[in-house]
Structure 1
Amino acid sequence: MGQLFEYIKIALNHLRASKGRAFLTMLGIIIGIASVITVITVGNGLSGSVSGELDSFGNGMIQIYANVQGKGVNVSFDSDDIDYLKQKLEHVKGITPATSWSGKGKGPKGEFDATVTAGNSALQYYSTEPLIRGHYFTEEDSESGAHVCVLTRASAMALFGSDDVIGMTFELNLYGTTTELKIVGIRQDKQAKIISMLNGGDDSLSIEMPYSVLTGLFGMDEGYDSIVIFPESSVYANETATRAVKLLNAKKGVQDPNIIQVQSMTDFTSQVDNVMQYITVFVSLVAAISLLVGGIGVMNIMLVSVTERTREIGIRKSLGARTSSIMMQFLAEAGIITLLGGLIGIVLGLVIGNVVCSVLSFPASISPFVVIVATLFSSAVGIFFGIYPAKKAAKLSPIEALRHE
């Protein structure tokens, strides 16, 4: 052990004597490790943030829709289907038709783009964020076509400059048709960020209202494009989805399993995770190339070092230094160069990753396992690419080495 520390001490002394060259040698390693750490830190943070938000957003919400394009059939849903599913399904909090429209909301503070989500009273489970004022619209409101709605706090602030707006009204314009909506509830808008992301990144008003308002305004029939089911827990999501599709296929006599389809928040979470995995793999490949280039750079510099220190090697050998000692010294030097480069890369990657996460407003997620692997891998690169120069140094003849100028 004492001899190992002596090798490390000698290696550090040589690095201090040529700081500039040592840093340039480390640069490829630094860039490679920093890239991987940055992407994994940001990727894990983003994936964790989105997954966490989606897990609570609708708490395992399931959307069932009919994919009839090019199938030559006409399948839609109605209130009878919803009542049927309510009777047959277990562990369900609510079932609602659901549709999302774009429009304009106009209040005392101005006119704003609006995203309108319409359904029955079960739409209250669309978000787990609580109501901070008022109440959700009721089933009676849905059945009577009452022009009422629930806004997020941010939407109320935009329209009125205050969230104390229960009972107030504002104008909603949908495709040229204008109506007044009475505000009966204000929802906390902690999830406004994820809703904005799902809507393409806009900061539009978020309005929830009875589906019957749309049927009244536009004379729509009762057919629904989709049904949304809210399980009691996300644990029941997959089982409920499978059962619901089977029931609807049987009720409507649909034989093609690709017509009535289902999409859940679990699917969306998996898609986000898959995208981040692909990005991580791609950047890891780029980083691997950078590490390879860095490793070749280490080998070249070590070969130069062997040439410059040929006489020193000859003196050490003539004084009794063993071949293995010479080899271990150069391997230690190569390993330390890449280890220091790896450590600098880790610190740099963590700093950049945290800055990016801070700018994007989600928590950074640091993986200790990745940090440990990066540290060990960077050392391994140095040792692997240092073997050839170390062997070359160890095999030098002391007589020939002493003749070297």
Structure 2
Amino acid sequence: MDNKETLLRKYAKLAVKTGINIQKDQTLVVMSPIECAPFTRMISEVAYEEGAKEVVIHWNDELSAKVKYMKASDEIFDIFPDWQKESQLYYAKQGAAFLSISASDPELMKEVDPMRIARFQKARQIALKEFNQRLMSNKNAWSIVSIPTAAWSSKVFSGVSQEEAIEKLWEAIFKIVRVDKEDPVEAWNIHKNNLKEKMDFLNSNNFKALHFKNSKGTDLIVELPENHLWVGGAEYTSEGVEFIANMPTEEVFSLPKKTGVNGVVVSSKPLNYGGNLIDNFELTFKDGRIVDFKAEQGYDTLKHLIETDEGSHYLGEVALVPYDSPISNSGIIFYNTLYDENASCHFAIGRAYSLCLKDGDNMSEEELEKAGANSSLAHVDFMIGTSDLSILGMTKEGKEVQIFKNGNWAF
């Protein structure tokens, strides 16, 4: 295997060239934890070498955020500064690309009052609504990658020294994002084509509904709206620039009909939300709406998430991921949604992606709602895939097609 420095350079290049697909004279905005500074600087260097006009870095420090949550005046959690909102929108309107490095400590905020976190999340989501809508409708290229931090690595590999935990997590990440291959860019091209085959099959069948069932207790029927589209692998900006929003990605996804979800779904992996873990939880749906929920861990955090707004009582995404996939086969629970959602079929509470509807990117909020898409400030993925998950597709003609059997694609 290549040495660490060579692998890091390959990873930075993959994120910039394949993830973001930086264009000549384009601005790149990077959102990075301060712990990831050396890799973020490497990203910056690669981006300039690939023709970026400017690289703007927005640093975040979750330890300082925790101090604020524990000590600050209560009213501050209902405020999100205008300058931060304007900064994001300014670069978005200039056509910038946005790269996020996701590497938070999954349990850092467990002593914090979940209501404070929920209030700040809501204030932030309200302020960044226009910005998030731009990204969710692919007006700008965007991508998310992860690198190990000490706290995250120690949570994933709890039985070893911190140094060993970091090395083990690097090793897992390099393998999963195909950086260990001689030519990672070509390996991703092959992977994109495999996802496209699944996407084309689902789109050609134009299913009316999907029935999810497993032994954990999931028994859920998800209707799909007229003119829904399945998307996976590569996506395209409104200017036609290809990018990959999640690295890694193993999913093919669409949107449920807002009022067409009925039954019970049970989580299969912990959800790291706002520095708190929600685990072993169950949601009950009637006519699309969450009418009951329970959780063994993180009940209050789940409650605040569901109560973000009216739309967060509904689903906005349905995503299919085979159980027999690189992340799942690693046997590792990452406590990081970017990785765990790509090891498992999942849903998202909240906003739907307009690109999952035919001509959805040209529709107003009202038109999207009328077409069956959910609108919300929130969009939070949670994992439901298992080794015995069955998914039946139901066509408009009443025919049933086995899509997943024993957790994997059945075709």
TM-based fold match above 0.5: no
Instruction: Pick 1 or 2: higher relative contact order, CA cutoff 8 A, min separation 6.
Output: 1
Using structure 1 for the length normalisation, give the TM-score.
Answer: 0.19
Quick check: which one's helix share is greater? 1
Larger radius of gyration: 1
Select the structure that is richer in strand: 2
TM superposition score normalised by structure 2:
0.18
